[in-house]
Chains A and B, each alone.
Chain A
Amino acid sequence: MEKFFYFRDATDEATDLSAAVSATVPVNRITGITVGGTTTINIWFKSLKNEMQNERAALTVTLGKLKEVMATLVQAMNGGPHSDGFVVIADTVTTTDGASSIQGDDQAVSAKFIHGDITNIALLTY
């Protein structure tokens, strides 16, 4: 089963309008996980449009937890063989959108992170 990582960096679902806001990426397109700062991890993946430069999701993590979060990401790639393969790594949406949507309009929901030491995300697709 192919795993897919999901990233979203909007707080209001109403602004989820492009690949710059959310993306679902097959893990076999991930080229590396690097440190971007003492509290930043970059997940790099092949360009969504096959351009010359790859793209990334930058996770904000707790100081001192870089390696632990990296290990969790790898576990998520390899674990849960009986899941549906869709893995939410970081989703910062806290307000839903769409009166006829499954979750309703302007409902408060919790942000989701695969690890408790991930606190935010910036999706850097172009």
Chain B
Amino acid sequence: MKVKKWLYFATQADEANLDGADDAACLPADNLVSISPTANNRVTMYFEAVGNNDPLGAYDNVVLETVVGDAFEVANELVRFINGHPHDDGFVTIADDVVIQDPGDAPLSAVYAHPSITGVNAINITEITTTGNSSYENFPQPMAVGNILPQPANAATLAVNSHYRFGTGTALAYRLPSAAAGRAGDFISVLYTARINNGAAHSYTTTTDLNYYLGSTIRVTPGSSARTGFLDVSIANDNVLTITGLDDGDGGIGTRLMFRNMTGEANGWAVECVVEGEDDNNAATADTNFS
């Protein structure tokens, strides 16, 4: 049976400070992607991500402090360790900066796999510990295509992973489900096939979340005369998005919203809303905003 090598790194002098993934890690040599210098006294080892299963996600890395000019020798030694010692248990200390034991504070000697390695500069591991998960089937969808659901009754909670086409001009108030009850990557899209009546408000309120994902946007496209472009960006406590119909102004056919659950956690619903103009498209936007 082939021995799998696992490479150990620790970057704290006092063992009492080993309290996070940026302090100590044991990584499989099989996941090593590359070794390269990143300064004249640093060699960086890149690994496939520990916490992220995204095929396009960033790699983790460990940055070693080295003697200036010894990048080649360090890379060579690392590979020798990975391929050598076929009869050991597979646990290889590449760099361990710990010199104070805890508990007890007894002195220890730092351990390095090669004399040209002088320390660990950084362990950069991105841990993702939220409970939300994206799944590949929830990658961005085209707007309001595919399986279109009928427009729900006023005050309904919209269903996740659904496309809607709305054709009602009278006032409506819809709700979004709890972001935490869903998964990162969930979506809801709405496309207006009829104009919103003058003075009628269509609102979208998060059910349990205190606000939309910060930085969500309402974008009013510019028209003529007084109808200039308008952008509202959500801030804390903005949990209602309202589009108010206006003759020659807001709420025209083609107005659309794309909600996206960014985290699977509270306050995870992001929204991108584009408000088209009605008729002459020359009235300034009014009462279309986050609140």
Chain A residues with CB under 8 Å of chain B are 1, 27-28, 30-38, 42, 44, 46-47, 49-54, 56, 63-64, 66-67, 70-71, 73-75, 77-79, 81, 124, 126
Contacts and interface: CB of A to CB of B under 8 A. Distances in A.
Interface stretch (B51-59, B197-205, B277-285): B51-59
The size bracket of the interface on B is 35 or more
B153 interface: no
Interface in B8-39: 8, 10, 15-16, 18-21, 23-28, 30-31
Contact of A70 (B3, B26, B28, B131): B26
Contacts of A50: 53, 135-136
B135 A51 contact: yes
Contact of A64 (B10, B48, B101): B101
Given A35-B18, A47-B53, A51-B53, A78 B4 contact: yes
Nearest to B2: A78
Contacts of B6: 33, 70, 74, 77
A32 B25 contact: yes
A105 B226 CA distance: 78
Contacts of B129: 56, 124
A64 B104 CA distance: 9
A81 B31 CA distance: 23
B50 A75 contact: no
A70 B104 CA distance: 20
B120 to A, nearest CB: 13
